[in-house]
Amino acid sequence: MSGGPKKYDAIVVGAGPAGLSAAAELGRAGARTLVLDRDTRPGGQLVKQTHKFFGSEKQRAGTRGVEIARLLREEVAALPAVEMWLNSTVLGFYSDRVITVERVKDAPGEERREWLEKVTAPVFVLATGAAERFLPFPNNDLPGIYGAGAAQTLMNVHGVRPGRRVVMVGAGNIGLIVSYQLLQAGVEVAAIVEAAPVIGGYLVHAAKVRRAGVPILTSHTVKEAHGREALEGVTVWRLDEKWQPVPGTEKYIAADVLCLATGLSPLAELLFQAGCQMAYVPELGGHVPVHGEDLETSVPGVFVAGDVSGVEEASAAMVEGHLAGLGAAARLGLVRDLAAVAAGWRAELASLRAGPSGEKIRRGLAKLAGQTAGMAASSPAGSPVSPASAPAASAPAAPPPATSAPKPGKPGRTLSPQLTSTGEPAASELESSLPPADRRRQGPYAVIECFQEIPCDPCHKACRTGAIGPFPDINLTPAYEAAHCNGCALCVAQCPGLACFVVDENYSPSEALLKLPYEFLPLPAAGHTVDLLDRTGALVGSGRVVRVVRSRSKLATPVVWVTVPSEKVGTVRNIRVPATKGGAAE
Partner 1 sequence: MKTTADAVIIGGGITGCATAFELARNGMKNVVLLEKEYLASGATGRCGAGVRQQFGTRINCLMSKASVELFENLNDYLGFDGDIEFNQGGYLLLAHSEATMAQFAKNVALENSLGIPARLCTPEEAKEIVPHLNTEGLVGASFCAEDGHLNPFKVTQAYAEAAQRLGVEVRKFTEATGLIMEGGRVAGVRTAAGDLATPLVLNATGSHAPLIAKTAGVDLPIIGERHQILVTEPVAPLQKPMVISFQYGVYCQQTPHGSFIMGVGDPHEPKGFDQGHSWDFLHRVAEKIAWLLPPLAGIRIVRQWSGIYDLTEDNQPVLDEAPAGCGHFIAAGFSGHGFMLGPTVGRIMAAKMLGQTPPIDVSALNLGRFARRELVLEPSVV
Q: For residue 209, state whether it binds ligand SF4 (rule: CB under 6 A).
A: no
Q: What residue 497 binds from ligand FAD, ligand SF4, partner 1, none (CB within 5 to 8 A, per partner kind)?
A: ligand SF4
Q: Write the Ramachandran bin of 170: left for phi over 0, alpha for psi from -120 to 50, otherwise beta.
A: left
Q: What residue 118 binds from ligand SF4, partner 1, ligand FAD, none (CB within 5 to 8 A, per partner kind)?
A: partner 1
Binding mask 54-93 for partner 1 (x = CB under 8 A): --------------------------------------x-
Q: For residue 305, state whether it binds ligand SF4 (rule: CB under 6 A).
A: no
Which helix (DSSP H) or strand (DSSP E) does residue 209 occupy? helix 203-210
Q: What residue 478 binds from ligand SF4, partner 1, ligand FAD, none (CB within 5 to 8 A, per partner kind)?
A: ligand SF4
Residue 36 Cβ vs partner 1, minimum distance, rounded to whole Å: 15
CB atoms within 10 A of CB 393: 19
Q: What residue 485 binds from ligand FAD, partner 1, ligand SF4, none (CB within 5 to 8 A, per partner kind)?
A: ligand SF4
Q: What residue 2 binds from ligand FAD, partner 1, ligand SF4, none (CB within 5 to 8 A, per partner kind)?
A: partner 1
Instruction: Name residues whose C-beta falls within 8 Å of residue 248's C-beta, 6 or more positions apart in sequence.
Output: none
Q: What residue 207 binds from ligand SF4, ligand FAD, partner 1, none (CB within 5 to 8 A, per partner kind)?
A: none
Residue whose CB is less far from ligand FAD, 55 or 358: 55
When binding is defined by CB under 6 A, the residue of 46, 168, 203, 488 that contacts ligand SF4 is 488
- For 505-566, where are the E strands, in sequence order? 511-517, 529-533, 539-549, 559-565
Residue 273 Cβ vs partner 1, minimum distance, rounded to whole Å: 9
Residue 482 Cβ vs ligand SF4, minimum distance, rounded to whole Å: 8
Q: What residue 462 binds from ligand SF4, ligand FAD, partner 1, none (CB within 5 to 8 A, per partner kind)?
A: ligand SF4
CA angle 316, 319, 325 (to 5 degrees): 135
Q: Alpha-carbon distance 328 to 122, whole Å?
A: 9
Residue 120 Cβ vs partner 1, minimum distance, rounded to whole Å: 10
Residue 288 Cβ vs ligand FAD, minimum distance, rounded to whole Å: 12
Q: What residue 307 binds from ligand FAD, ligand SF4, partner 1, none (CB within 5 to 8 A, per partner kind)?
A: ligand FAD
Alpha helix positions (H), 305-374: 314-331, 338-352, 359-371
Would you call 302 helix, strand, or coil by DSSP?
strand
Q: Do residues 364 and 266 lie in contact, with contact meaning Cβ atoms separated by under 8 Å?
A: no
Instruction: Name residues whose C-beta falls within 8 Å of residue 158's C-beta, 6 or more positions apart in sequence.
Output: none
In the complex, which residues of this chain contact ligand FAD (CB under 6 A)? 13-19, 36-39, 44-46, 49, 53-55, 89-90, 127-129, 149, 152, 173-174, 177-178, 267, 306-308, 312-315, 317
Tell me the site size for ligand SF4, rule CB under 6 A: 27
Q: Alpha-carbon distance 535 to 523, whole Å?
A: 20
Q: What residue 342 binds from partner 1, ligand FAD, ligand SF4, none (CB within 5 to 8 A, per partner kind)?
A: none
When binding is defined by CB under 6 A, the residue of 154, 231, 352, 491 that contacts ligand SF4 is 491
Stretch that binds ligand SF4, among 284-292, 423-431, 493-501, 557-565 (CB under 6 A): 493-501
C-alpha 3, offset from chain centre: 43
Q: Alpha-carbon distance 103 to 116, whole Å?
A: 6
Residue 1 Cβ vs partner 1, minimum distance, rounded to whole Å: 6
Which helix (DSSP H) or strand (DSSP E) does residue 90 occupy? strand 88-93
Q: Alpha-carbon distance 94 to 308, whole Å?
A: 19
Label the pairing between strands 82-85 and 264-266.
Answer: unpaired
Residue 308 Cβ vs ligand FAD, minimum distance, rounded to whole Å: 6
Q: Which long-range contacts (CB under 8 A, 24 or more apart) does 134-138 make?
A: 134/260, 134/262, 135/169, 135/222, 135/260, 135/262, 137/222, 137/223, 137/224, 137/225, 138/223, 138/224, 138/225
Q: What residue 500 binds from ligand SF4, ligand FAD, partner 1, none (CB within 5 to 8 A, per partner kind)?
A: ligand SF4
Q: What residue 491 binds from ligand SF4, ligand FAD, partner 1, none (CB within 5 to 8 A, per partner kind)?
A: ligand SF4
Q: What separation in angstroms does the CA of 356 have from each of 353, 361, 520?
A: 8, 10, 31
Q: Which 8-state DSSP code applies to residue 306?
A: G
Stretch that binds ligand SF4, among 64-72, 110-118, 446-454, 554-562 (CB under 6 A): 446-454
Stretch that binds partner 1, among 7-15, 96-104, 296-304, 440-448 (CB under 8 A): 96-104
Stretch 188-207 residues interacting with ligand SF4 (CB under 6 A): 204
Q: For residue 177, state whether it binds ligand SF4 (rule: CB under 6 A).
A: no
Q: Do residues 543 and 512 lie in contact, with contact meaning Cβ atoms separated by under 8 Å?
A: no
Count how many Cα atoms sit within 13 Å of the Cα of residue 449 in the half-sphere of its side chain.
31
Q: Alpha-carbon distance 93 to 101, whole Å?
A: 10
Q: What residue 414 binds from partner 1, ligand SF4, ligand FAD, none (CB within 5 to 8 A, per partner kind)?
A: none
Q: For residue 450, state whether it binds ligand SF4 (rule: CB under 6 A).
A: yes
Q: What residue 141 binds from partner 1, ligand SF4, ligand FAD, none (CB within 5 to 8 A, per partner kind)?
A: none
Binding mask 109-128 for partner 1 (x = CB under 8 A): -------x-x----------
Q: Alpha-carbon distance 159 to 407, whole Å?
A: 45
Q: Alpha-carbon distance 448 to 285, whole Å?
A: 33
Q: For residue 560, state whether it binds ligand SF4 (rule: CB under 6 A).
A: no
Instruction: Name residues whose C-beta falls within 8 Å of residue 352's C-beta, 6 or more positions apart in sequence.
Output: 55, 56, 59, 313, 315, 316, 319, 358, 455, 474
Residue 42 Cβ vs partner 1, minimum distance, rounded to whole Å: 25
**Taken in order 170, 174, 178, 179, is the CA torsion positive or negative?**
positive
Residue 38 Cβ vs ligand FAD, minimum distance, rounded to whole Å: 4
C-alpha 335, offset from chain centre: 32
Q: For residue 95, state whether it binds partner 1 (rule: CB under 8 A).
A: yes
CB atoms within 10 A of CB 197: 15
Stretch 451-480 residues interacting with ligand SF4 (CB under 6 A): 456-459, 462-463, 465, 467-468, 478
Return residues touching partner 1 (CB under 8 A). Answer: 1-2, 5, 92, 94-96, 98, 100, 116, 118
- Positions touching ligand SF4 (CB under 6 A) are 204, 446, 448, 450, 456-459, 462-463, 465, 467-468, 478, 485-491, 495-497, 499-500, 502
